[in-house]
Structure 1
Amino acid sequence: MLRTYAVPGLLVAVPVLLALLGPFFASGDTGKDIALTLGGGHWLGTDHAGRDVWNEVLLGGRSLVVAALVATTGTYVLAVPLGLVAGMTTNRLLDESIMRPLDLLLAVPSMLVLLLLASTAPGVWWVLVGVVVLINLPDVVRICRTSALSVSAGPAVEAMRLQGESRARIGLTHVARSMRRTLAADLGVRFAGAIYLVASASFLGVGISPQVSDWAAMVDRNRAGLFVQPWAVVAPAILIVMLCVGVNLVFDRWLRRRPVAPEVV
């Protein structure tokens, strides 16, 4: 089992540990030194403004990783109950009242929502997280609803109803558990999408200060000098890619090791 998760675990652990623990090891020295090449006390050189690239890497991951993690968690906390209710209800009006507003939101391009809403409160962290949750919510609710519809139409749910089980108990004990594989398959992609949205906001300077230490903002600030000082762009970009790929590989390996349980009547 350790061998199965060794590579994905390493891909996730490196950027996560740098993001969470990096600020404790970062230098508090704000002095700037133009030394684009490696050495001179700068492991990865400096960026165009004289900031130490390695120090910026240590400082720049927490905002991106924590925002993506909180946004993904918030999305599922809201989407799973809504999807269960919409998928199991026999009241068509209730189903329509949940799904149609989300369909309207789904029709609006995600980047347009990000720009319109996050720009209303630039620099406010929780607003950016809320916008990412709002963008991802329609897709996850639809996935949960479709999965709940499929499971609730099965013979096991019908048998539980005949035994007098309440709809809430059926939803929590059987339908929600049966949705785990579907949600796990979506979770890795959704987390990567949340990183993409948070990074896009940082790249565009929406929701954060343009001068804040942030991996995505580093890519934006230093892309013009990519061929002069590549590490200022390559180092944060590699960490973002490692995290996205690693999370998806972890869930992929987990799904492969868990056989599909047959439905018991």
Structure 2
Amino acid sequence: MSRPVLAAAGLLAGIPVVLATLGPPLSALPASGGPPFAPDGFLGTDVLGRDVLGVLLHGGASMLAITFTATALSYLAGGLIGLLAGAARSRWLDELLMRPLDIVLAIPGILILLLAASLAGHGPVIVTAVVVVVNAPAIARLVRAATLDAARRPAAEAMRLQGENWWAIHAGYVGRCLRRPLLADAGARLTSAVYLTGAANFLGAGLAPDSPDWAVAIDRNKAGLLLQPWAVLAPAALVVAFTIGVNLLADELTRGKP
């Protein structure tokens, strides 16, 4: 691993996470009603007349909470399905588990988001559910392929001959073999979750329009980009820094020792 790259990745991903974690308890959400797109304060005001710096300190908590929660649930659901399909040694169970996921993979994520918003309304729960539905099938396919490969290795066969149970073989040995491919995939899944969360807020299917969420701030303030660019550029920079940072971090960690 390259220490400078690892440090840069940690810095890029860490700044948005620290702001999202420490921002809300350390500062009050600025009140609206002031002059919109004014140069007042350190970064000026937004479309609602709120201090942009205060919005930044509060806007990351919602986005990153949805992102991390949805990604964790995606790996839980997709990983379980993929592990069962790869370890079942049953063609009919493999087909039963994987073929419905192929249908979901064929549908664009934005279309699933719009469909969910039209049927179930909007809010963080809906956005989280959509991210899980979109990401879990790809994770399941990755886990299934890695499980099939690991379960056929000599070490796994030797464990079967020694009478090891299913849990010891698949949750133990196969699970350890899954760490590197899942780590390599984690950056892409987090990026996908950020993209879908941001898209939901852009389309009005996510949080309320007056939420300080970074994606909502980018959407609501884009009309004043030339008047007060920091209202758009500052939250956009934090989102970009987070996505680049987590992908660099995943890439560097997979270059380490297995």
Q: What is the CA–CA distance in structure 2 between the aligned matches of 1:24 and 1:228, rounded to whole Å?
A: 30
State TM-score, norm by structure 2. 0.94
- Residue 148 (structure 1) aligned with residue 143 (structure 2): no
- How big is each residue's C-alpha offset from its partner over 1:180-217, in whole Å with a ceiling of 9 and x where there is no partner? 10000001111111111111111111022122111011
**Native 8 Å contact 1:32 1:52 kept in 2:** no
SS of the equivalent of 1:227 reads: coil
Match of 2:22 in 1: 21
Report the Cα distance in structure 2 between the residues aligned to 1:28 and 1:162, rounded to whole angstroms: 62
Report what 1:11 is aligned to: 12
Q: Report the alpha carbon displacement of residue 124 of structure 1 after superposing the two structures with TM.
A: 3.0
C-alpha deviation, 1:52, in angstroms = 1.4
Alpha-carbon separation, structure 2, partners of 1:17 and 1:10? 10
Alignment of 1:12-91 (within 5 A): 12-34=13-35, 36-38=37-39, 40=40, 42-91=41-90
Q: Kindly state the Cα deviation for residue 37 of structure 1 after the two structures are TM-superposed.
A: 4.6
Q: Distance in 2 between matches of 1:29 and 1:196?
A: 26
Deviation at residue 4 of structure 1 after TM alignment = 5.3
- d(CA) in 1 for partners of 2:185, 2:77: 15
Stretches of structure 1 lacking an aligned partner (at least 5 in a row)? 261-265
Q: CA RMSD in A?
A: 1.7
Match of 1:244 in 2: 243
Q: 1:28/1:184 Cα in 2 relative to 1: closer, same or farther (>3 Å)? A: closer
Q: TM-score of the superposition, structure 1-length normalised?
A: 0.91
Equivalent position of 1:263 in the other structure: none
Give identity over the alignment, percent. Answer: 44
Which aligned segments of 4 or more residues in structure 1 are displaced greater than 4 angstroms? 1-4
Take 1:35 and 1:224, find their aligned partners in 2: how far apart are those partners? 11
Aligned partner of 2:135 in structure 1 is: 136
The alignment partner of 1:47 has SS state of coil
User: Residues 28 and 66 of structure 1: is their aligned pair in 2 closer, same or farther, counting only changes over 3 Å?
Assistant: closer
Structure 2 segments unaligned to the other structure (5+ residues): none
Q: 1:99, 1:52 → 2: CA distance?
A: 49
Matched residue, 2:93: 94
Aligned length: 257
- In 2, are the aligned partners of 1:118 and 1:131 still within 8 Å (CA)? no
| The 10-residue stretch of structure 1 (118-127 or 44-53) with the greater mean CA deviation from structure 2 | 118-127
